[in-house]
């Protein structure tokens, strides 16, 4: 018995048809043919024979006129933008007299591109400038900009439930305009940006995550503490370890230099510095009690010191005891937030500044959400 197989070219035709169907990715359309007009590749499409119903009374309608319209639908590296062509009919209801034009899902009749193409163009803008995408597609900048800000919000998830967040300020214009950013301490995604750096601005930014957050990491600014206590009373406030270390090491260094001027022998100074910089687990119980006595004596001595720098450190120890302890015990810090601030500055420079803070916040959220990864 001889086994009959279909010719190879039929398989190629079937694969070609399947490839075109997946490339077009429009439901219930029939591909008629592909043609080229100048530099434009056009896929002629049609729908199965049907009679659209009236959108008002759901009765049968009559065709009045018909024409074909083209929309941008995709982009290929070698051929550029390719178009789809579909018939658009003007129909009238014989019952109620309503006239309307036929439409297709995912295709706006007044637009020059399908929704799928607009979303793809908007995704291309993530990680680069809108101007660069407009040049690549050879389209007006305003058109690509409108598509981006129309579809970009749909790329972001509305399920914002972080466990720990970092809060920090950054400059729109140094010395003039500032903003506050709230970022997920684990993923690095920025959830909110608000203009200003006062308590009210910080509170508005924290309002986006106040329902689920358990840890809030910030610097030593008084406005940060008040806003966190007001918006996230159940969350644990963690002071960034870098700022704590910077505050006390600078004070310790100034104290060392001051004591060093009294004489050449530094034995006692080195003894004190070793205790204060040693890991707590490596100290004996007697040494810990000694350090605690030094701390209490130092606070009582310098809490009303004429020197404002020393007085500020003593007050910080008294007022921020819980936050500093949380800083030591918590694994979170503002390190990622400081790195994200550099990214925010680069985005601002790449866009030559932003007049609309909502659009700038949207751009920052998209860049830090890792949507394309």
Among 146, 121, 148, 151, residue whose Cα is nearest residue 136: 121
Among 216, 176, 166, residue whose Cα is nearest residue 197: 176
Q: How large is the average pLDDT for residues 55-73? A: 85
Q: What's residue 267's pLDDT?
A: 56
Task: Name the superfamily (CATH) of residues 164-240+335-368.
Answer: Ribonuclease H-like superfamily/Ribonuclease H (3.30.420.10)
Among 369, 371, 372, residue whose Cα is nearest residue 189: 369
Average pLDDT, the chain: 81
Least confident window among 5-9, 234-238, 252-256, 358-362: 5-9
Domain ranges of the chain: 16-153, 164-240+335-368, 243-329
Q: Give residue-wise pLDDT tens across range 222-248.
A: 888 889 888 888 888 888 878 777 877
Q: How large is the average pLDDT for residues 145-163? A: 87
Return the sign of the alpha-carbon dihedral for residues 29, 31, 37, 40: positive
Q: Give residue-wise pLDDT tens across range 130-142.
A: 999 999 988 999 9
What's the rounded Cα separation, in Å, for the pair 268 and 260?
A: 10
Q: Is 312's pLDDT higher than 50?
A: yes
The pTM (predicted TM-score) of the whole model is 0.68
Q: How large is the average pLDDT for residues 30-36? A: 81
Tokens of 117: 């193409």
Q: What's residue 266's pLDDT?
A: 54
3-state secondary structure of 78: coil
Higher-confidence position of 127 and 265: 127
Q: Is 12's pLDDT higher than 80?
A: no
Q: How large is the average pLDDT for residues 363-371? A: 82
DSSP assignment of 86-126, as one string? EEEEEEEETTT--EEE--BTTB-TTSSB-HHHHHHHHHHTT
- Inter-residue contact 372 to 123 (CB < 8 Å): yes
Q: How large is the average pLDDT for residues 345-364? A: 83
Q: What's residue 259's pLDDT?
A: 60
Q: Give residue-wise pLDDT tens across range 236-289.
A: 888 887 877 787 777 777 766 766 665 555 556 677 777 777 777 788 888 888
What's the rounded Cα separation, in Å, for the pair 251 and 348?
A: 36
Q: What's residue 4's pLDDT?
A: 44
Q: How large is the average pLDDT for residues 5-27? A: 63
């Amino acid at each position: 018995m001889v086994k009959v197989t279909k010719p190879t070219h039929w398989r190629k035709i079937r694969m070609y048809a399947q490839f075109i169907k997946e490339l077009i990715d429009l439901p219930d359309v029939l591909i008629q043919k592909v043609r080229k007009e100048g530099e434009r590749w056009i896929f002629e499409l049609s729908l199965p024979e049907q009679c659209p119903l009236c959108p008002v009374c759901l009765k049968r309608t009559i065709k009045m006129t018909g024409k074909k319209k083209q929309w941008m639908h995709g982009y290929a590296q070698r051929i550029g933008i390719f178009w789809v062509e579909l018939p658009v009919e003007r129909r009238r209801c014989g019952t109620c007299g309503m006239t309307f034009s036929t439409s297709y899902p995912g295709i706006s009749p007044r637009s020059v591109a399908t929704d799928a193409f607009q979303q793809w163009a908007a995704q291309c803008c993530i990680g680069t400038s809108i101007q660069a995408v407009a040049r690549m597609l050879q389209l007006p900048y305003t058109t690509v900009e409108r598509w981006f800000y129309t579809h970009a919000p749909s790329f972001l998830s509305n399920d914002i439930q972080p466990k720990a967040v970092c809060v920090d300020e950054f400059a729109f214009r140094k010395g003039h305009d500032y903003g506050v950013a709230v970022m997920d301490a684990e993923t690095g995604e920025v959830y909110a940006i608000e203009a200003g750096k006062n308590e009210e601005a910080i509170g508005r930014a924290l309002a986006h995550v106040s329902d689920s957050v358990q840890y809030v990491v910030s610097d030593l600014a008084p406005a940060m503490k008040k806003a966190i206590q007001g918006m996230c009373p159940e969350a644990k406030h963690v002071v960034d370890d870098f700022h704590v270390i910077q505050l006390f090491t600078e004070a310790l260094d100034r104290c060392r230099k001051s004591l060093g001027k009294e004489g050449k022998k530094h034995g006692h100074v080195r003894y004190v510095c070793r205790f204060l910089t040693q890991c707590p687990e490596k100290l004996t119980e007697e040494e810990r009690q000694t350090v605690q006595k030094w701390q209490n004596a130092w606070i009582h001595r310098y809490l009303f010191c004429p020197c404002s720098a020393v007085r500020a450190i003593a007050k910080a120890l008294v007022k921020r005891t819980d936050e500093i302890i949380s800083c030591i015990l918590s694994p979170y810090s503002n390190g990622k937030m400081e790195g994200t601030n550099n990214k925010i500055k680069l985005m601002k420079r790449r866009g030559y500044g932003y007049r609309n803070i909502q659009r700038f916040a949207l751009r920052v959220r998209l860049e830090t959400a890792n949507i394309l990864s």
